[in-house]
Structure 1
Amino acid sequence: MKTLNITNASKTFGERTLFKNVTFTINEGDRIGLLGLNGTGKTTLLDGIVNNNDLNTINIDKPKDYKISYLKQQPDLDDNSSVIDAVFNGSGEKFQLIRQYENSLTKFNAHSTDTKIQNEFFKLQERMNAAEAWQMESDVKAILNKLGITELDKKISELSGGQQRRVALAQTLISEADLLILDEPTNHLDYEAIDWLQSYLSKYKGSVLFVTHDRYFLNEVATRIFEIENRNVTEYDGNYEKYLQQKADNEEIYASVQHHKTQLYKQELKWMRAGVKARGTKQQARKDRFSDLKEDLQDKPDVEKEMSIDIAQQRLGNDVFDIKEASLKFAQHVILNQFSYLVSRGDRIGITGANGSGKTTFLNAIAKKLPLDSGEIKTGQTVKIGYYTQQTENMDPDKRVIRYLESIGQGVRNSGGEHMSASQMLDTFKFDHQMQGAFIRELSGGEKRRLYLLAILMDQPNVLLLDEPTNNLDIETLTILEDYLNSFKGTVLAVSHDRYFLDKVADKLLIFEGQGEIEESYDSYSGYLQKATAKKQAKHHEIKEQKHQEVKQRAEDKPESKKKKLTYAEQIEYNKLEPEIDKLDTEISNLEKELNDPANDYEKLMDYQKQLDEANQKEDKLMERWDYLSQFA
């Protein structure tokens, strides 16, 4: 059994310590979810395991042939490389052979009559046979198809950020590593791809260490949980659900023990200050105990500080937004088409749908940041909007944290009517006094988002517009936010793809399907996704079956053939037809997705339509040929 042992891992930035003397073991087959508040060093620890020089200290004990494959949040791919070259970027002999074969296959399909290209292709086929590389190639293509990657000869520079991310994920998964390290692997994946990835990682023979904000994914995949807290790593057995139970039990035990220690510490402090004259052996023992207690309490500075959102809410009337026959186009895409909808006090509306379908544009229109082409959005007189945008707005990197928040307001009232200063609010949001004096540029990306969220809430809105709030927020902050929203007396409109967040917060959904089509659903988001997936699969199966029947009917209408069996060449052709048809099915499905994505411009849509027409024609011919040969197979 291969294991990876980490000891004495430490990282300090100036006066700030992220973690120190961290020690843990990763066993073969472990699937470990790494949790922690933003800024505690999750990504820093992952980087340090791969590149030891990134940490101040770390000792790693592992077998010489131990291989680690790392998916970073920002992929490091060669823009000039093709997708297939990027995916098979490994140094293994089979990887290089498959890369050569795939490139040769592309040339052969384009120039099948070229003798030189033919010879090269057939030689590589023989080498693939000799190396028994076909199974690996098949497995890799299955991974690529599941992640929606079909255009293997396309340049990396021609892909969107989300597509590049999926290529990097595929590259990581096929590496046959002993340990996969994945930083937010579900980013830019749709529901079906996430569902497949859960299953893939659950059966992975090696080990997996991953960071994610997707709590359903975490619960399905993780067998252990590591949490960075108070500059150390605490280990929990089991998935996210079991972690929550253990965490709650531990907090109850710790609160009881810590209360006793605090009382004992006060007694010892009183004794020390009394200045006992005779300090013999017993007195020295008490002094030592006093020092130990003091150190133990100081090592846990944040344990009794629970992050919380306790801000008094302003009154909201019944009228919030009355949308009447609203129409809006943005960059030639129809966002709203004569759309009418009434948003009332207390509504919890989840907004989801395809990328580029206009969800953020819709929020901008509601917030009056973007005018409608026609129609109107009437806003209630008592409405005060707090808009949490995807981009952190009006945050000067050269301003100190405390000064930034004081510029929003000198303080607020909590639900009990008590005045809370900006410093006290920062404290409740896990910004200690050292961090309050830091420049905003010194914060991590997640810490900036947490500070931005606090700034929005301090303005005491009674209507919240949240655009992808789960991006770059840690699970603890999300949990506190969700709890706050459930008790929030105002109205919430939240754009998100996070299943857990929407299931927990939204009581109805607006699904933006593109071209102004908006569907309302009272299902949970998970329930809606399951129904949509089943419907889509049924439709695809129906189309495929219809094509098959059409081909079969054409074959039956032909005069009966005297042919009784396949020739040797026809048998080889027949064996290859079904995999080719399956590949075309996947390609057609992906092209249909692209055509339904309004994020694509007109030229791209025309190109995708052309590719789809060609793929359908090619599949019809292959189906007709397969149906004919199947009579004699």
Structure 2
Amino acid sequence: MKTLNITNASKTFGERTLFTDVTFTINEGDRIGLLGLNGTGKTTLLDGIVHPNNLNTIEVDKPKDFKISYLKQQPDLDAKSSVIDAVFNGSGEKFQLIRQYENSLAKFNINSTDKKIQNEFFKLQEKMNAAEAWQMESDVKSILNKLGITELDKKIGELSGGQQRRVALAQTLISEANLLILDEPTNHLDYEAIDWLQTYLSKYKGSVLFVTHDRYFLNEVATRIFELENRNVTEYDGNYEKYLQQKAANEEIYASVQHHKTQLYKQELNWMRAGVKARGTKQQARKDRFTDLKEDLQNKPEAQKEMSIDIAQQRLGNDVFDIKDASLKFGKHIILKDFSYLVSRGDRIGITGANGSGKTTFLNTIAHQLPLDSGEVKTGQTVRLGYYTQHTEDMDPDKRVIRYLESIGQGARNTDGNQMSASQMLDTFKFDHQMQGSFIRELSGGEKRRLYLLAILMNQPNVLLLDEPTNNLDIETLTILENYLTNFKGTVLAVSHDRYFLDKVAHKLLIFDGQGEIEESYDSYSGYLKEASEKKQAQHHEDKIQKHEEVKEKTEQKKTETKKKLTYAEQIEFDKLEPKIEKLDDEIASLKKELNDASNDYEKLMDFQRQLDEKNQESDKLMDRWEYLGQFI
């Protein structure tokens, strides 16, 4: 069993210590979710495991052949490289061979009559055969397809930021590493890609250490939880649900113990102050106990202030947005097509759908940042808009944190009507006085997003547009935001693929299917996805039946057209195939019933869904074989 041991990992920036003396072991097969508030050093720790010189101290003990593959938050890809070159940028012989073959194939498809191109292509085909590299190539293309990357010859520089990140994820997954380190792997992925990645990592033979904000994903994938808190790592066994249970129990025990120690300390303090002069054994023991208690309480982790969002909002009338006959098109890509919709006070609308279908563009149009081709968006007179975009806007890196917030405004009122200064507001968002004086460039990516969220809320909006708010926000901040939105009396429109967030926040959904097709659902996001999956499975089953009938028809035709026979072994195989397929169909039907059973919990439903996917794949393979053998009967 190959293990990775990390000992004495520490990192300090100036006067700020992120973590110190962090020690842990990653065993083969572990899938570890790393949690922690933005700015505690999660990304720095991941980076330090790969690049030890970036930390002040760290000891990394691993086998010589131990391989780590690392997905960074900001992928470092060559803009001039093609997608296929970037993905196969490994040093392995098979990687190089596949890269050469794919480039040769592209040339061959353009000019198949050129003798030089032909010779090169056929030679590389032979090398692929000799190296048995076809399966690896097939696996990689499957991974790319699942992640929505289909244009393999496109240049990296021509891709969007989200597409580049998906290419980097594919590059990381195909590396056949002993340990995958993934920093926010679900960012910029739609539900189907997240669901596929969840299954892929759950079955991964090596180990996985990952940071994510997606709590459903974390719950399904993680077998251990590391929490970076109070400058060190606390380990928990199990998934996110078990972590929450243990964390709650620990907090209760800790509070009880500390209360007891504090009371005992006060008693001992009174005794010491009484000026007892005796130096007997009992009195000395009490003095020693006093000293121990004092040191214990002084060295305990500093009590963390609870982050809170206590900001009042402006009054909002009934009319928010009245969208009439809205149309918008970019080239051949239709975003909106004669779309009409009324958004009212109190609406909680989750906006989701495939990447590139126009969700962010839709928010930009109703925020009047992008004009429509035709139609109009009327905004209510009392609307005070807060728009949390995917990118932190107008944030000067050379400005200090408190000066940035003061430039937004001189503070806001809380729900009790009291005026709060910029410093007080920063304090409630876990920016201590030292951090308030820091330059924005010194903040982590997540801390910048938390500061940006505070800047949006500081203007006391009554309508919130949130574009992928779960990207780069830690789970604690997300939980606080979700609770705030639950009690928010205004209107919320949120673009997200995060199932947990939308299930908690959204009362209805707008699903962008692409090319201007938008459907409305009053189901929860999880409920909608389950229904969509069932429809897809039903369609798959119908397609399979149709294919089955077509094969039967072709087989009957072949019987009359040819006298070619199967071998004895093939005939036996063919005779056994149909009963196997029928048995699989029965098992698939049974699994579908389980999926429709409301009494099953989420964990069981996901297990049934995985079994169903496997049975469908097996059935497809048998059908393909049955179709092939059927030609010769």
Please give the per-residue CA displacement for 1:71-96, whole angstroms capped at 9, x wherever unaligned: 11222223333333332322223333
Task: Specify the alignment match of 1:251 in structure 2.
Answer: 251
Does the C-alpha gap of structure 1 residues 52 and 354 become closer, same or farther in structure 2, counting only changes over 3 Å?
same
2:424 aligned counterpart, secondary structure: helix
1:409–1:113 distance in 2 versus 1, CA, 3 Å: closer
Equivalents in 1 of 2:125, 2:381: separation in Å?
73
Look up the SS of the partner of 1:494 in the other structure. Answer: strand
Cα offset, 1:470, TM superposition? 1.1
CA distance in 2, matches of 1:135, 1:553: 32
2:455 aligned counterpart, secondary structure:
helix
Query: What secondary structure does 1:79 align onto?
Result: coil
The Cα offsets for residues 540-590 of structure 1, whole Å up to 9 and x where unpaired, read as 776798799889989989996456369xxxxxxxxxxxxxxxxxxxxxxxx
CA contact (8 A) 2:328 2:374 kept: no
Shift of 1:213: 1.2
Which aligned pairs between 1:330-479 and structure 2 lie closer than 5 A? Answer: 331=330, 334-372=334-372, 375-479=375-479
Q: How many residues align?
A: 573
**In structure 2, how many angstroms separate the alpha carbons of the residues matched to 1:406 and 1:263?**
42
Partners of 2:366 and 2:377 within 8 A in 1: yes
Amino acid at match of 2:341: Y
Post-superposition offset of 1:155: 3.5
The aligned amino acid for 2:319 is V
Moved more, 496-505 or 20-29: 496-505
Q: Distance in 2 between matches of 1:528 and 1:102?
A: 39
Report the secondary structure of 1:352's partner residue. Answer: strand
- SS at the partner of 1:66? coil
- The secondary structure found in structure 1 opposite 2:69 is strand
Alpha-carbon distance change, 354 to 412 in structure 1, aligned in 2, over 3 angstroms:
same
Report the alpha carbon displacement of residue 505 of structure 1 after superposing the two structures with TM: 0.4
Deviates more, 1:419-428 or 1:531-540: 531-540
Give the equivalent residue in structure 2 for 1:295: 298
CA distance in 2, matches of 1:552, 1:159: 45
What pairs with 1:97-496 in structure 2 (closer than 5 Å)? 97-109=97-109, 120-266=120-266, 285=288, 288-289=291-292, 291-297=294-300, 300-303=301-304, 305-317=305-317, 319-329=318-328, 331=330, 334-372=334-372, 375-496=375-496
Q: Deviations over 1:324-379 (max 9, x none)?
A: 52424364555444433222222111122334443333333433444555554444
Q: Counterpart of 1:502?
A: 502
Q: Which residue of 2 aligns with 1:518?
A: 518
* Maintained 8 Å contact 1:219/1:239: yes
Equivalent in the alignment of 1:78: 78
Residues 378 and 189 from structure 1, CA distance in 2 versus in 1: closer, same or farther, beyond 3 angstroms?
Answer: closer
Which residue of structure 1 lines up, in the alignment, with residue 571 of structure 2?
Answer: none
1:575-609 deviation digits (Å, cap 9, x = unpaired):
xxxxxxxxxxxxxxxxxxxxxxxxxxxxxxxxxxx
Q: Quickly say closer, same or farther: Cα 1:563–1:392, change in 2 above 3 A.
A: same
Amino acid at match of 1:323: D
Work out the CA distance in 1 between the residues paired with 2:363 and 2:141: 39
8 Å contact 1:265–1:290 — kept in the other structure?
Answer: yes
Bigger mean CA offset, 206-215 vs 252-261: 252-261
Q: Secondary structure at the match of 2:349?
A: strand
Is residue 190–residue 354 contact of structure 2 (8 Å, CA) maintained in 1?
A: no
Change (3 A) 1:82 1:542: farther
Q: Which residue of 1 aligns with 2:587?
A: none
Cα distance in 2 for partners of 1:363, 1:127 equals 51
Give the superposition deviation at 1:44: 0.8
Residues 554 and 631 in structure 2, CA contact (< 8 A), matched pair in contact too: no
Is the contact made by 1:326 and 1:372 (CA closer than 8 Å) also made in structure 2?
A: no
CA–CA separation in structure 2 for the residues paired with 1:277 and 1:403: 56
Q: 1:474 to 1:552 in 2, by over 3 A?
A: same
3-state SS of paired residue (2:226)? strand
1:381-409 alpha-carbon deviations (Å, 9 max, x no partner): 44332222223234333332223333444
- Counterpart contact for 1:323–1:339, Cα < 8 Å: no
1:419 deviates by 4.8
Note if 1:18 corresponds to 2:18: yes
Listed one character per residue, the Cα deviations across residues 486-505 of structure 1 (whole Å, up to 9, x for unaligned) are 11122211122222111110
State whether residues 184 and 472 of structure 2, in contact with CA within 8 Å, keep that contact through their aligned partners in structure 1: no
Residue 529 of structure 2 is matched in structure 1 by: 529
Amino acid at match of 1:301: E
| Helix, strand or coil at the partner of 1:38 | coil
Residue 311 of structure 2: SS of its match in structure 1?
coil
In the superposition, the TM-score normalised over structure 1's length comes to: 0.80
Using the alignment, how far apart are the partners of 1:452 and 1:227 within structure 2? 24
Cα pair 2:269 2:290 within 8 Å, conserved: no
| Unpaired runs of at least 5, structure 1 | 567-625
Residue 469 of structure 1: CA displacement? 1.1
3-state DSSP class of the match of 2:361? helix
Change (3 A) 1:24 1:441: same
CA distance in 1, matches of 2:406, 2:261: 36
CA distance 1:17–1:267, change in 2 (3 Å)? farther
Instruction: Report the CA distance shift for 1:310/1:269 in structure 2 as closer, same or farther (over 3 A).
Output: farther
1:190 maps to a residue whose letter is: D
Q: In 2, Cα distance between the equivalents of 1:455 and 1:518?
A: 32
Distance in structure 2 (CA, Å) of the matches to 1:510 and 1:183: 29
TM-score normalised according to structure 2 size = 0.80
Which position in structure 1 is the counterpart of 2:569?
Answer: none
Contact 1:321 1:377 in 2 (8 A): no
Contact preservation (8 Å) 2:334, 2:515: yes
Letter in 2 for 1:289: D
Q: Deviations over 1:17-58 (max 9, x none)?
A: 111110110001000011111111111111100010111110
> Equivalents in 2 of 1:334, 1:116: separation in Å?
43
Secondary structure at the aligned position of 1:351 is classed as: strand
* Residues 629, 370 of structure 1: alpha-carbon distance in 2 compared, 3 angstrom cutoff: same
Structure 2 counterpart of 1:592:
none
